[in-house]
Amino acid sequence: MPATAPGYYLLPCLLLLALVAWNPASAQDDDPHQVPLRELEKTFTGDLPEMRKRKRIRALVTYSRTDFFFDHGRARGIQVEFLQAYEKFINKGVKRATDQIHITYLPVTFDQLIPALRAGKGDIAAAFLTVTPEREKKVAFATGGKLKVRELVVTHKDTSGIESVQDLSGKSVYVLKDSSYVRHLEQLNLQLRRARKPPVRIVPADPNLLSEDILELVNAGVVPITIVDDYKARGWKKVLPDIRVHETVSIRDDNTVGWATRRQNPELGKSLDRFARKVGKGTLLGNMLFRRYYRDTRWIDNPVSREQRKRQERFIALFRKYGKRYGFDHLALMAQAYQESGLDNRKKSHRGAVGIMQLLPSTAADPHVNVKNIRQLENNIHAGTKYLAFLRDRYFNDPGISHKNRLAFTWAAYNTGPASLRKVRDKAKKMGLDPNVWFGNVELAAGRYIGKEPVQYVANIYKYYVAYKLADELADRKKKHRRTASAGTDRPG
């Protein structure tokens, strides 16, 4: 919904808040975990003795409702718990607080964990990374030999015929980008080819999605099959009723997982190994993960369910029409409409926003929009799209802003207002963030200075957009398959 009207939330918040995006009301100026971002961005590759002199270790973490997030200004997540325990471990015997070393959390996307570590942008890649030969050429691992996982096949409950890994032959499997799952599926494909069977179609996820997001898409029926580590699959099974975890079907067993460090930092690696040997999988990885981090989780509504698909068929021509007129992907417009109203043109908010795009009549009457009778479906879509185009062209026409970020900024401005977003972009620049990039940059400033609403709003729409794109691509593949099959039957014998 535009400007100050409340959003229509169906998804759990990804809480994509960074190091500096804590609750100002509860944060302390002298919080040892918070330092200027520009200082942290300086390249540093020294080992543990140098880190002790700096009194700081930088932990690269991924945004996730289980690994790292902020809850009322407090850093939470399973990796935070481990890092806090390591901070106590490494400071044991150090009595003076001014001599203690502190761990700072630096959120990055999953595919940047190892590159950022190697580039000296962080000191520990704090995620349960599977140890693979390819990764060991790039980084060292601290595991203590304690954490072992299996990579299990997870499907929607209605997906049948998966009794062994061989049954993945010819099927599409949607997996975390740059993960060990990709490599292990590639190894499976070698076996399938030797057996003269069709390979698995490996579909890397959008880099802004994590395993939890993919599991939500499987639960919703958008994605039929994925691969996830066993502890994560079992945990999410508790809150996602429509996924099926295939305990007897794994593409890899007995994987060792752990944190990664630079190979030229052996002292830090030894310290982490000693710590890891003291940490049992049962208590932390079990009780914390299952009881603390999977409680009260809401899951994604399915924007491409059969019922929703019927609604979309009624609206899609109008979204195509006005998307083409104003230069938007019609699927992006539909994703926003789903976030706003659930594609229900009868919806009306308590603030007076109406229709499928949840537009205020005053906004529609503005000279820059000037579309009347917005209670009528087509006019509502027209007015909402025209307003989006006005926001995009007036406020985000800088050639330095990429297409994806221009779209994200436009969504955010639709939700919180362009003036508010302009101020928060200025704040982002002062925080050392890129004011032309929403994901991982301006959204962090928005989370701090505006609140979670615009962050969640854009994240929700983006996830719906991905779901629509997947469904659209699947439909196209089916059409091509039918055409191919039809052409084959038409050939003379």
pLDDT digits (tens, 9 = 90+) for 342-376: 888 999 999 899 999 999 999 999 999 999 999 99
The contacts of residue 308 (CB under 8 Å, 6+ apart) are 302, 338, 343
Q: What is the mean pLDDT of the chain?
A: 81
Residues 377 and 117: their CA atoms lie apart, in Å, by 50
User: Which has more confidence, 392 or 294?
Assistant: 392
The share of the chain scoring above pLDDT 70, in percent, equals 78
| Structure confidence at residue 20 (pLDDT) | 29
Cα 289 from Cα 421, distance rounded (Å): 36
From the list 212, 340, 443, 453, the catalytic residue is 340
**21 touches 70 (CB < 8 A):** yes
* Residue 38 pLDDT grade (very low, low, confident, very high; cuts 50, 70, 90): low
Alpha-carbon torsion angle 182, 187, 193, 199, nearest 10: -20
CB 175 within 8 A of CB 204: yes
Domain ranges of the chain: 37-146+258-292, 150-253, 306-473
Rounded distance between C-alpha atoms, residue 57 and residue 392, angstroms? 40
Asked if the model's pLDDT at residue 150 lies above 70, the reply is: yes
Using CA atoms, how far residue 291 sits from 67, 126, 245, in Å, is 14, 21, 19
Question: Can you read off the two tokens belonging to residue 14?
Answer: 């990804």
∠ CA 453-223-470, nearest 5°, is 75
416: left (phi over 0), alpha (psi -120 to 50) or beta: alpha
Please determine whether the domains at 37-146+258-292 and 150-253 fall in the same fold group of CATH: yes
Q: Which residues contact 259 (CB under 8 A, 6 or more apart)?
A: 124, 125, 126, 127, 129, 141, 142, 143, 272, 276
What is the pLDDT, as a whole number, of residue 412?
96
Given a cut of 60, whether residue 71 has pLDDT beyond it is no
Place of tokens 């790039």: 138
Local confidence band at 28 (pLDDT 50, 70, 90 cut-offs): very low
Q: How far apart are alpha carbons 283 and 305 in whole angstroms?
A: 38
Nearest-angstrom CA–CA distance, 314 and 474: 19
Instruction: Work out the pLDDT band at 39, boundaries 50, 70, 90.
Output: low
Average pLDDT over residues 111-127: 94
* pLDDT > 80? residue 293: no
How large is the average pLDDT for residues 193-214?
89
Label residues 64-103 b or e (16+ Cβ within 10 Å = b). bbbbbbbeebebbbbbbbbbeebbeebeeeeeeeeeebbb
Please tell me the least confidently modeled range out of 69-73, 337-341, 410-414, 424-428: 69-73
Closest CA to 255 of 369, 361, 336, 141: 141
CA distance 71 to 12: 13
**Which residues are 244's β-sheet partners?**
155
Region 412-438: mean pLDDT is: 94
Is the pLDDT reported for residue 19 higher than 60? no
- Would you state the structure tokens that stand for residue 294, as one six-digit string? 């999977």
The pLDDT of residue 429: 92
DSSP state for residue 359 in the 8-state scheme:
B
Domain 150-253 classified CATH 3.40.190.10?
yes
pLDDT of residue 289: 47
Element (H, E) at 57: strand 56-62
pLDDT recorded at residue 304: 62
Please, which pLDDT band fits residue 40 given cuts at 50, 70 and 90?
low
Q: Which tokens belong to 112?
A: 């940047």
Fold of 37-146+258-292: D-Maltodextrin-Binding Protein; domain 2 (3.40.190)
Mean pLDDT lowest among 217-221, 350-354, 489-493: 489-493
Question: Residue 172: pLDDT above 70?
Answer: yes
346 CB neighbour count, 10 Å cutoff:
10
With a CB cutoff of 8 Å and minimum separation 6, the contacts of 307 are none
| Cα–Cα dist 345/353, whole Å | 11
**Predicted local confidence at residue 384, as pLDDT:** 97
Predicted confidence band of residue 234 (pLDDT cuts 50, 70, 90): confident
Closest CA to 443 of 76, 2, 17: 17
* Residue of 339, 308, 315 lying closest to 5 (CA atoms): 339
- What are the beta bridge partners of residue 489? none
Provide the pLDDT confidence category of residue 479 given band limits of 50, 70 and 90: low
- Among all chains, which residue has been given the structure tokens 């998804």? 11
Give the closest residue to 139 by CA, choosing from 321, 265, 267: 265
Q: Would you state the structure tokens that stand for residue 240, as one six-digit string?
A: 């996602």
The CATH code belonging to domain 306-473 is 1.10.530.10
Helix (H, G, I), strand (E, B) or coil at 59: strand
- Which spans in 226-265 are helix H? 230-237
Query: What pLDDT does residue 29 have?
Result: 32
Residue 145 has pLDDT above 80, yes or no: no
Residue listed under structure tokens 């109406």:
354
Q: How far is CA 49 from CA 53, 92, 134, in A?
A: 7, 16, 28
The model scores a pTM over 0.85: no
3 falls in which pLDDT band (50, 70, 90)? very low
Cα distance between residue 244 and residue 286, in whole Å: 20
- Catalytic site includes residue 340: yes
Dist CA 348 CA 354 (whole Å) = 4
With pLDDT > 90 as the criterion, what percentage of the chain qualifies?
48
Report the range of poorest mean pLDDT among 203-207, 420-424, 468-472, 475-479: 475-479
Q: Kindly provide the b/e burial profile for residues 372-382, where b requires at least 16 CB atoms within 10 angstroms of the residue's own CB.
A: eebeebbbbbb
